[in-house]
Amino acid sequence: MNRVFINRFKKGQIVEGFFLAKEKTASKTKTGNPYLSLRLADRTGEIEGRVWDKASDFGSLFQKDDVIKVHGEVDEFQGVLQLRVLRLRKAAAGEFEATDFLPQTAHDVDSMLSEIQGIAESLRNPHLRALLDSFLADEEFVKKFKTAPAAKAMHHVYIG
């Protein structure tokens, strides 16, 4: 099954993928049956998720802010899309791409890197230039740098 991001969900669609569990709340229906209320996210948006069956069992498998693998059906409640979760489990490290959970820059990353390289070449202080050149010459560093967010929170939390 190909990766489908939240912003592409359609009512009635069966989806399976990895999502960040931004919120997790155990509740009870009006008749007293347990259910889980989730706020699931990827880099394109968020969706409410509901676990109606086996809520107690599934709830013990993961914590808030874990990445989970979900199999479910996109439904609609009061005009808003919602994911009815049929199965889930905590994702293992290496099973998902971290870039799937942060928005990406709209700018061309290679062009931005070229701009940084131009700035490095224009530096007059030889020590600063050598320092910056040493980073930019390290292919592994540059690869990671191009996919790292500019900040952890508040602003520029974009990949690239």
Residue 151 pLDDT class (50, 70, 90 cuts): low
Does residue 104 surpass a pLDDT of 80? no
Domain that holds residue 135: 102-146
Say if residue 148's pLDDT is above 70: yes
Please give the residue that has the higher pLDDT: either 149 or 65.
65
Residue 120 lies in a domain: yes
108-117 pLDDT per residue, tens: 889 999 999 9
* DSSP track, 29-94: -TTS-EEEEEEEEETTEEEEEEE-SSHHHHHTT--TT-EEEEEEEEEEETTEEEEEEEEEEEPPTT
What pLDDT score does 154 carry? 58
Interatomic CA distance for residues 96 and 157, integer angstroms: 19
Q: How far is residue 94's CA from residue 88's CA, in Å, rounded to a whole number?
A: 17
Classify residue 71: in a domain, yes or no.
yes
User: CB neighbours of 1 closer than 8 A, spacing ≥ 6?
Assistant: 15, 16, 17
Count up the domains in the chain and report the number. Answer: 2
Mean pLDDT lowest among 29-33, 48-52, 149-153: 149-153
Q: Across residues 76-96, what is the average pLDDT?
A: 95
Q: Are residues 14 and 85 in the same domain?
A: yes
**CATH assignment of the domain containing 34:** 2.40.50.140
In a domain, 156, yes or no: no
Do residues 79 and 23 share a domain?
yes
114 and 42 within one domain: no
For the cut 90, the answer to whether the pLDDT of residue 159 exceeds it is no
Number of H helices, E strands in the chain: 4, 5
Looking at the fold, whether 113 and 88 belong to one and the same domain comes out as: no
Residue 121: inside a domain: yes
Mapped onto helix, strand or coil, the DSSP state of residue 16 is strand
